[in-house]
Amino acid sequence: MFKGAFSIWNRDMLVLRRSLFTELLAVVASPLTFYLAFGFGLKGYIANVEGVPYTVFMAPGLITMTAVSAAFDESAWSMWFHRKVQRTIEAYRVTPITVYDIVIGKIISGFTQGAFKGVAVAAVIFLLTGFRVTVAHLAGYLAFIVLGSMIFSCLGTVCGTLLDKPETIGKVQAVVIMPLIFMSGVFFPVSSYPAAIRGYVTAIPTTALFEGSRVALLAGSLNGAYLAILALSAAVAFAGAVAIFNRKIEE
Amino acid sequence: MDSALSLRAVTKRYGTLTAVESFSLEVARGTIFALLGPNGAGKTTIIRILTTLLRPTSGTALVEGHDVQRDGREVRRLIGVVPQENNLDRYLTARENLVLQARLHGMAPSDSRRRIDELLELVGLTGRQHDFPDTFSGGMQRRLVVARALVHRPRVLFLDEPTTGLDPQSRRAVWEYIESLKDSMTIFLTTHYMDEADALCDRIVIMDHGRALVDGTAARLKERMAHAHVYELQFRANADRYETMLGGFPFVRSLRRTGDTFRLCLAGEEYLKPLMDAIGNEDIRKLCLLEPSLEDVFIELTGREVRE
């Protein structure tokens, strides 16, 4: 079962291995710039945030942001490219694998790339800065990364399935994905929002992701409500991505 | 059960547009079969239905006895598909493209390795197996797509306009591969090239507007035109003026121009005299009666107007 999904995932990993160095360079550059510019450039202006130095506060969010952005990018662009440009999705569809194999293979590829790139950024931040983590906290943090990457990989798959023009995918990234990430606690705590809107922001799955992952990594405590929101969101996103892909392909 | 392919009253509608209407067909095993028709005739829709990419609105389609709707997975196990456009993976080498195909068909690595070596040899790409398809010529890419369709030893091979856009040498090479396969599988081909269908196929169906118009061997279809009067007419000068004039005669059933030479089919022998009276003989260099070709049959059945 799902041998087809594994074959597609395997193909994506082979392609990733070929361009590993340039992929890592590209993926590390942006969060590292944020880290250096905000963490060190604003160091004199920002006091401790929630009891930790700003560079420490920001690091988990940047790693998570890298993972989920990479998951979204890989899934969206890969699905779009294979569907509209190479038309390899059609080549897959005349083999004995099912549409579930195709969509699951692509979602897992996006998720893997996200997790892998998140680890790469974590390693670079660890090596180049004074940021250190407690090893015992990593398992809880990874649970958040896994669920977050899964959600964003599914969202990317939906975009790559539904959107025919590449510029529209770029617009979705600019108008939906980036605000969702930036407003959900990467650079500042959700407690900074006015009380009137804080409840709404807290209900967004990305807040559960960024707030929950930071607390898991820095304090070692798992917020069950946040994990439940993410697990439910991942399940809904997965079911939605599979159904949308199945329906679109049947057209 | 001798039919490799069977379509029974298959209809496909897209909203108000009927692409295929109550189309029925049986293709015997081991046949090289060609489906001909102008753009929009419904050929690709039929291939997409038979390869499980499209569901028919009504009717039944069977491949080797398996229903394409109820038993799609088994159908896909038995077929190889060469689509109109080369949909190779440009980030995989030629060999990796074939390996991925073998994996998607669940082939054991030891079997697929041998098979891929054989196919690369067959299509003359052994020396380029570790190169990426983007570095290949159009003919080489096409040969690789054919090889990919054959990796899992299909029982039915679908070729949707397999030689479109290829130079004559590459076309001949693809023809040779197709001919070399004829004893081991059923081949279902669509093409715009009449010479291709004429040279390769045991049986031809010409369709238009979603319906089959004629069915038979190339020789039998050409016999249908035996009553037709096909002439070649060459002018010394004013070919453009004569083209307009010839196109305006109601008894000219088809007209094709190559330079200053026209190939025209008259509705009957009795129209030769009115034709000659109308065009005179001062600009005529040559006039001769021709054997009808498959293309004459095609134009006769599907008309002269250009399709979008």
Q: Supply the ipTM of this predicted assembly.
A: 0.83
Residue of B76, B83, B92 with shortest CB distance to A96 = B76
Share of chain A above pLDDT 90, in %: 39
Q: Would you give the distance in Å from CA B146 to the centre of its chain? A: 15
Q: In the block, which residue shows the tokens 């037709």?
A: B228
pLDDT of residue A34: 81
Interface A–B counts its CB contacts (< 8 A) at 59
For residue A161, pLDDT over 90 is answered with yes
Q: Identify the closest residue of chain B to A5 by CA–CA distance.
A: B104
For residue B296, pLDDT over 80 is answered with no
Burial group, residue A187, by CB count within 10 angstroms (0-12, 13-18, 19+): buried
pLDDT band at residue B305 using 50, 70 and 90 as cut-offs: low
pLDDT of residue B151: 95
> Which residue has better confidence, B89 or A178?
B89
Mean pLDDT on B200-204: 89
Average pLDDT, chain B: 88
> Which residue has better confidence, A38 or B21?
B21
For residue A86, pLDDT over 60 is answered with yes
pLDDT band at residue B57 using 50, 70 and 90 as cut-offs: very high
pLDDT tens string B167-182: 888 788 888 888 888 8
> Which residue has better confidence, A39 or A228?
A228
Q: Identify the closest residue of chain B to A84 by CA–CA distance.
A: B87
> Which residue has better confidence, B222 or B102?
B102
pLDDT of residue B93: 97
Contact of B211 with chain A, judged by CB distance below 8 Å, is answered with no
For residue A10, pLDDT over 60 is answered with yes
pLDDT of residue A158: 94
Interchain pair B81, A94: CB under 8 A = yes
pLDDT of residue B138: 87
Q: Tell me A186's DSSP state.
A: S
Chain A residues within an 8 Å CB radius of B79:
94
DSSP states of chain B as a string?
Answer: --EEEEEEEEEEEETTEEEEEEEEEEEETT-EEEEE--TTSSHHHHHHHHTTSS--SEEEEEETTEETTTSHHHHHHHEEEE-SS----TTS-HHHHHHHHHHHTT--HHHHHHHHHHHHHHTT-GGGTTS-GGGS-HHHHHHHHHHHHHTT--SEEEEESTTTT--HHHHHHHHHHHHHHTTTSEEEEEES-HHHHHHH-SEEEEEETTEEEEEE-HHHHHHTTTTSEEEEEEESS-HHHHHHHHHH-TTEEEEEEETTEEEEEES-GGGHHHHHHHH-SSSEEEEEEE---HHHHHHHHH-SSPP-
Chain B residues within an 8 Å CB radius of A2:
none
Interchain pair B53, A91: CB under 8 A = no
pLDDT of residue B303: 65
Mean pLDDT on A37-49: 78
Residue of B73, B77, B100 with shortest CB distance to A7 = B100
For residue B301, pLDDT over 80 is answered with no
pLDDT band at residue B227 using 50, 70 and 90 as cut-offs: low
Q: In this predicted structure, which of A86-100, A106-120, A123-137, B179-193 has the lowest mean pLDDT?
A: A123-137
Q: In the block, which residue shows the tokens 């999904």?
A: A5
Share of chain A above pLDDT 70, in %: 99
For residue A160, pLDDT over 70 is answered with yes
As given in the structure block, the two tokens for residue B72 are 């799609």
Mean pLDDT on B110-124: 92
Interchain pair B106, A87: CB under 8 A = no
pLDDT band at residue B308 using 50, 70 and 90 as cut-offs: low
- Assign residue A222 a region (left: φ > 0; alpha: ψ between -120 and 50; beta: otherwise): beta
d(CA B263, CA B233): 6
Chain A residues within an 8 Å CB radius of B76:
94-96
Q: Identify the closest residue of chain A to B47 by CA–CA distance.
A: A94
Mean pLDDT on B180-186: 86
Mutate to test the interface with B, among A95, A100, A246, A249 (most CBs of B within 10 A): A95
Interchain pair A92, B85: CB under 8 A = no
For residue B1, pLDDT over 60 is answered with no
Residue of B79, B90, B104 with shortest CB distance to A97 = B104
Share of chain B above pLDDT 70, in %: 95
Residues 6+ apart with CB under 8 A from A53: none
Interchain pair A91, B92: CB under 8 A = no
Q: In this predicted structure, which of A209-218, B151-160, B212-221, B243-252 has the lowest mean pLDDT?
A: B212-221
Mutate to test the interface with B, among A9, A20, A94 (most CBs of B within 10 A): A94
Mean pLDDT on B201-210: 87
Max Cα-Cα span within chain B: 74
Chain B residues within an 8 Å CB radius of A94:
51-53, 76, 79, 81
Residue of A91, A96, A98 with shortest CB distance to B87 = A91
For residue B266, pLDDT over 60 is answered with yes
